[in-house]
Amino acid sequence: MSYKFKNADRLKRNREIEGETGTEIGFPGGDTLWILAATDANPRWVKFGDDYVNGLRRLQRANASDERVKMYQSEWFTRLFVLRWDVKGEDDAAVLFSQEACRAYLTETDDVIPAIQRTAFDNQNFRGAKFEVIVGEGKGSSSGGPNTGQTPSTGSDSL
């Protein structure tokens, strides 16, 4: 017997979003990043994910300072996850995306690294949804659970 389910496709992984086009994360003030998932669909993660995890474990075992861990994550998150962005500079002009600019942005902000971490490591966030970070929920925490501090957009690209 064959079954057809109306919403089954909405509950499946979208490997193109996970590893090629990324999902959009919106932040207060209008900054937006498109990030890839920490899954086998992301070629960056496949190639370098173990290196990132092993380095992070070394820092944790060495009781590295929060600042040192943040610098490490800003370097690796730029390489592994951030695909592109729409970020404004102090003069309200668009800042061109580069690895150097992205590392500086991630280092300077407090809410972006935890938001990337919560989003990238939960592949349910890569099914076409757009996420907006709510400042205050999970703020500054890089160990929050799935969707902590995030809310799906009600725009046309939502589930």
- Give the predicted TM-score (pTM) of the model: 0.77
Question: Nearest CA to 120 among 159, 60, 80?
Answer: 80
- Is residue 11 a contact partner of residue 123, using CB atoms and an 8 Å limit? no
List, for residues 26-69, the tens digit of each pLDDT value. Answer: 999 999 999 999 999 999 999 999 999 999 999 999 999 999 99
Q: Is the pLDDT of residue 128 over 70?
A: no
Structure tokens at 146: 């799935």
User: Does residue 3 lie within any of the structural domains?
Assistant: no
Does residue 159 lie within any of the structural domains? no
Distance CA 109, CA 115 (A): 11
d(CA 17, CA 24): 10
- 138 — phi, psi (to 5°)? 75, 15
What pLDDT, on a 0 to 100 scale, did the predictor assign at position 118? 93
| 10 Cβ contact list (under 8 Å, min separation 6) | 127, 159
Query: How far is Cα 61 from Cα 57, in angstroms, rounded to an integer?
Result: 6
Band (136; pLDDT cuts 50, 70, 90): low
**Tokens found for residue 105:** 């942005």
Counting the structural domains of the chain, the total is 1
Residue 5 counted as domain residue: no
In a domain, 1, yes or no: no
Please check whether residue 22 is in contact with residue 44, taking contact to mean a CB–CB distance below 8 angstroms.
no
In a domain, 21, yes or no: yes
Answer yes or no: is 32 within a domain.
yes
Radius of gyration of the chain (CA): 16
Q: In the structure, what pLDDT confidence band is assigned to residue 154 with cuts at 50, 70 and 90?
A: very low
